[in-house]
Structure 1
């Protein structure tokens, strides 16, 4: 959107207001008849100027929540008051979701992350308490009078993120706004004003009073934005990342004197961007959070595992395993879900596995194990592994691409032949117990694991061959006295429970 012209902004806003007028004008007339002002505000006004249509509308009003609720009655198809404590009443009208909030002039305790809600008495005052000028514009409803007391439209045209007042005051009120600045940079591709960056740097420690859940939510929005490098770089530059995602700035390792390893931090951001380019392979409708987080975290084990050997060469042995543990710990601290933590940690742990493939020396057994270990993250592992190639050597990059193409082709071929997605032994727990004449218990689990390993090594067997192999294994085991004692606790494979 470089060189955004005022005429283009006006055209976009006019088109959006025309689209929403049939819905909001009657509502505005209701408020006006009751002696109250109503205005479209914040994100919807900004997005209208950017040409980003949406059906979620934020409005502000001079009416108190109880009055808003009465005025919505008979107009809205449904209302809710979950935000009443903050002056907000929600409503639905057809496909439109609307939130109406009473003018605010909140006060904050410096040691608290929660405002003491106080109602304001003017639109200008309400706009002044908002986070950034591009979110501090409004359009009155009805009448469509544009209000921009803090120069938001100019900042939008110049692609600039700036606060309505002093950034220090804004961030003192709500420290999460510092992360929101980085998030908007990532979402819009805008530059953050120098005085805002300076305040973020000076006040970074204020983010510590914000709950892990709110920090996580902003980080997720940033990572899933179109330009996450902009936002992440700003978090690192200002020191905020040291407090919310310290593993990222830790990647800025001092270069060894011989420059024999890449800049891990820049490499990580490039891997993230390349993973985003490969997301269409996943077939999802939008940004893939798990894939992006895996790309961001895949090398965080390197600082703890870096060693200089010989003539100054650098190694990072086991940084995949160490990184997986660090990933799990950080994501738990940020209150991610268990499923998300498991998925991202698995991808970090497996991201180097392909490099053992060499030039295609893996046996079918090794390919099966690669699929088995990746499980339901196989497609994301394909994306991460491909994205992790950031070499500037064109011949090396092409060789790696062809080799991974070959591995994927082998996986597809084996999948067609063997149903790799199922990846179970040729006999289930019930069949094992029947053939061996044993009750549920650890021996069944041991037999199940034996058959699974055999399946991985040799592919599927006919039932009679699987039974013969099982009996042979069992006889050898009994001869060696390895069967479990009868007093051992029962344990049965999941597939038989």
Structure 2
């Protein structure tokens, strides 16, 4: 690859090179940008390393423009950042690092380019390209990162046990890069992950979940989870998912392996949606199966109530994993709770009331729920899969017909609590809530239409039975 030609396509590289020459600083573009350049992947983040002050170089580059370019300086880390349109550009001085056993935060000293490359996590991230005029576009690749890219291999520059013991987060990054790039992890490097898996416990939950979410957002997230499982990394932070693995048998009755089923559901969802939280719903949908597993001599293995228990488990798992405790968690919780409901509506004897209730309970998330339900069909029997998916087509037709007629998705009772209080001269009370709830139930059961006229008529009848008088 002609790196000089590639760098000349983006003005920033010559600009930084000119400023570096004026300051007499050997300067290189390094890391992810170089890797992605080789892989022909789009990247808007550029990291420059100079042998000297990265902050001084950043300020010089910013001053070289005819317009104002703000410089964000992080003195603690010796780094500076500027933004140029869609580009985020970071500058840092070359450094060498040493580590204590109880922390992933290194002791940092100024270093040479070689020492800076020595500290990098993987060979594919340890390549550098000079931007100085004298050797512009020259690749410095001391660990054969270019060859590893061609071999599709994740490998550490240093001895793996040292690399992972120094900074255990690199183990999660190894799995993340392997998953995103569809690479293998070199055997000695993977053995280093296995040997140091328990060291992950010194890493903050926030850093772990950041890497995990990137794995989940990959094209084929199951690959990453299999690596996490086999290496025992998953055991360090997500035991509930580990517990899904395995098959129990009594006589000739067995259940499927719920871990690998969950991974198939996750991949199925990934095939139709890039939504991180829908993918989390796929991960969580059967999370309570180990806790609800029972054996019945007549029917075999059962998991009754796993959807409700799974929904109850969701907040605790989200909290422990440092996932957001907001509407995103509630969305996942809702889909976990409802994921068995649609298939029950296949039966032709199911009433419109049951369909209305599902539409009401799912609200605007009904399409996502149906995507999850379809993804949950993982049988190896193609005819069975076609039959189940055809059943879901039938359910969606029913829902469409009911919604067009009754408009119950996310509906609010046509009579508000404020109106009830004003009509009957009531203060906020249990009575007001009961009237609202009875009106809502009547609409969902199809006893009245979803309109104000019929809702008011029912309200007066209910109020009369309760002995309420209209406020004249």
Q: The TM-score by the shorter chain falls in which range?
A: over 0.9
Cα distance in 1 for residues equivalent to 2:52 and 2:367:
52
Q: Which runs of 5+ in 1 are unaligned?
A: 1-9, 280-286, 484-497
SS of 2:8's partner is helix
> 2:111 aligned with 1:127, yes or no?
no
Match of 1:267 among 242, 261, 272: 261
Aligned pairs for 1:292-303 within 5 A: 292-303=279-290
Query: Closer, same or farther in 2 for the Cα pair 1:400/1:372, shift >3 Å?
Result: same
Provide, for residues 412-468 of structure 1, a one-character-per-residue CA deviation record: whole Å limited to 9, x for no partner: 233333333341112122332233332332221211111111121116344333222
Which residue of structure 2 aligns with residue 213 of structure 1?
A: 206
Q: Is the 8 A contact 1:426 1:455 kept in 2?
A: no
State the Cα distance separating 1:311 from its structure 2 match: 5.5
Among residues 2, 17, 35, which one is paired with 2:7 in the alignment?
17
2-structure distance, mates of 1:69, 1:190? 34
Alignment of 1:41-440 (within 5 A): 41-75=30-64, 77-120=68-111, 122-142=112-132, 143-257=136-250, 258-279=252-273, 287-310=274-297, 313-338=300-325, 339-440=327-428
- Displacement of 1:476: 2.2
Contact 1:260–1:314 (CA<8 Å) still a contact in 2? yes
Deviations 1:90-124 (A, max 9, x none): 0122332200111121221110132222221x212
- Say how many residue pairs are matched: 461
Task: State the Cα RMSD in Å.
Answer: 2.0
How far residue 268 of structure 1 moved from its aligned partner, in angstroms, is: 0.9
Q: Are 1:446 and 2:434 counterparts?
A: yes
TM-score by length of 2: 0.93
Q: Does 1:31 align with 2:20?
A: yes
Alignment CA distance shift 1:288-1:302 (3 Å):
same
**Inter-CA distance 312–434: structure 2 relative to 1 (3 Å threshold):** closer
1:256 touches 1:312 (CA, 8 Å); kept in 2? Answer: no
2: CA distance, partners of 1:332 / 1:356: 32
Distance 2:457 2:198 in 1: 66
Residues 106 and 79 of structure 1: is their aligned pair in 2 closer, same or farther, counting only changes over 3 Å? Answer: farther
State the alpha-carbon separation in 2 of the partners of residues 401 and 73 from structure 1. 57
Partner Cα separation in structure 2 for residue 149 and residue 276 of structure 1: 37
| Deviating 4+ runs (over 4 angstroms) | none
TM score, norm. by length of structure 1:
0.88
User: CA-to-partner distance for each residue in 1:334-384, whole Å, 9 max, x for gaps?
Assistant: 111122221112211111112322434322211111122123322221111
